[in-house]
A and B are shown apart, each in its own frame.
Chain A
């Protein structure tokens, strides 16, 4: 729409992964000004999707169909269609729940914690990381809702006055979960939406057809970008970030209480809350990388989601991975140091028992595989980075499998030991939840601004008064190629 004036473009070299602390790396590379940012991001929502998008949507939607079928079968028949048994009363349902809730954490970490820490590089990736959070929490919410056996009575979990004169049991960590996860979902959605209002206004102002104008117009609430609006908006965003930060730490801590508050060997551990939070961020960043790598390439967003962004995320993943490795070690140490022989057995049973394959998959995927990220070329190469991220995605699912199944299948009484194996319904629902996640994500990519345009503009050199000239001066005439101006 806007004409692009060549003199407003600032051409930044694509290499922004330097480690020189005296230099502040460019966050947006390539030849860009404000209108090219708008153009490159809005174009995705304005043009017809590419062929691969339809294929991906088709595959995801078929998996949603599988999920629907499995749910229908489950609800009409009963949870007996799952492989859950005595003593393994919790299995895929809770594994998938904890897995998906964990995925969500990276989104809030990027959008809230990195915002408070003034990590400006978050601006290009926060929008779709937050979207990922919301879709992951949607998938997570599904499992506890159906695992209760009679999902039409799920409202019993909420403190609604009823004719039975009964209240939910607030001493139960499972009820804390209800409050923690639903608050988390609500606040994340609000945070995401508030962040999107100015960008929705951009789409509204560019929309050509009537339906798009109406839809984006309603969604952007009449935003005019007035400085008085921005003033309160920025304050609201900061406050939301400050509120979401303790929230993200609390959610997975509360999820870990489901386990830690019990007396079961392998679960009854004080390290669980921080260990779960670190693991969630670890797994969440792996999923952000998994989504960002293809998305930046396929949607042509390499100027905003730069090599430096991918590298930074890889570093966060490596760091949280080391915390997870430490937590594994501490669990074993405490089991030994406690002198509690049931606890010691539970931890010997993990690497050497019948589920040793799951344990060693977890160790390889979470601890061994990601170590390649110590090397810079592995962080910069999309394939090695994707390998590390996929390792973590798999490993973090197995971590929850190991925690839940190995602790339950052999507890205090050998007479009640049993093995657990998933049924096809278990597998179908796991696959189906991925289908739901990717369907929502693909629709988000198509219809909403994937990159926070307003925020990206603030980290460009043009946004700073007089910064324009200063920036060119630091780059030198050679780098900008504008000595003739």
Chain B
């Protein structure tokens, strides 16, 4: 059973697995305020392996969810620099070294003429970095996920807000966590199995 690698959380400290194969507790909330305050309360209780799922991004939760700034911009910078280098090498090598072709007495290495090529390749590889970097960091594509089998969770892409507390969290206690979530105003709490 590989539970913790689905989310980019740190490795759980308690390695014991539960008897029944529960992946997480799923709590449903009806509005943004409810899910925000519940997430804040969970963090206050010391929970770390939990996540909020919503149909659109909710801002102001990063601290409660221990989300650290993403390295994506650096990946994009790397992509851009690679693209720029590729453009320069391509133009300089093909036009000035491998296949020199004199046009109207222009210099063989006419740098201003390479600008469009270098620019476009810089943008292209930066964009690849942004898209594929985001997918890799988000561990997508992921075609099998316990949450996606859950009927209730389908509204996470519609109009409901969910908190999932992984069973691997060291504060996790089936009964206690469920009660805590209900006390925070969850409309429903259920266990999601593998």
Contacts and interface: CB of A to CB of B under 8 A. Distances in A.
Interface of A: 1-2, 8, 33-35, 38, 159, 165-171, 173, 175-176, 179-180, 183, 186-187, 190-191, 193-194, 198, 201-202, 204-206, 217-218, 221-236, 239-240, 243-244, 246-247, 250, 254, 257, 453-455, 457-458, 462-466, 468
Given A167-B98, A222-B145, A239-B130, A179 B54 contact: no
29 contacts: A1-B155, A2-B160, A33-B159, A35-B158, A167-B95, A176-B120, A179-B116, A180-B120, A191-B127, A201-B157, A202-B157, A204-B157, A218-B141, A224-B145, A224-B156, A225-B156, A229-B140, A230-B57, A231-B70, A232-B138, A234-B57, A235-B73, A236-B130, A236-B131, A236-B133, A239-B130, A243-B130, A463-B56, A468-B31
Contacts of A468: 31, 33
Closest 7 pairs (CB-CB, A-B): A222-B142, A34-B159, A236-B134, A221-B141, A176-B116, A167-B94, A230-B57
Q: Which of A194, A226, A234, A243 has the most CB atoms of chain B within a 10 A radius of its CB? A: A226
B154 A222 contact: no
A466 B57 contact: no
A171 B110 contact: yes
Contacts of B131: 190, 193-194, 236, 240
Given A218-B143, A227-B61, A183 B156 contact: no
Given A169-B101, A227-B52, 16 more contacts: A8-B30, A169-B95, A176-B117, A180-B116, A193-B131, A198-B56, A222-B144, A226-B53, A227-B54, A230-B56, A232-B70, A234-B57, A236-B131, A239-B76, A243-B76, A243-B126
Label chain A's interface by main secondary structure. helix
A235 B36 CA distance: 21
A150 B112 CA distance: 30
Contacts of A250: 116, 119-120, 123
B36 to A, nearest CB: 6
A129 to B, nearest CB: 18
Contacts of B145: 222, 224
B56 to A, nearest CB: 4
Nearest to A218: B143
Given A190-B131, A233-B134, A236-B131, A224 B158 contact: no
A458 B157 contact: no
Nearest to B137: A232
B158 A239 contact: no
Nearest to A166: B99
A329 B145 CA distance: 61
A222 B159 contact: no
Contact of A202 (B55, B72, B90, B133): B55
Contacts of A223: 140, 157
Contacts of B140: 221-223, 229
B70 A235 contact: yes
B127 A240 contact: yes
A8 to B, nearest CB: 8
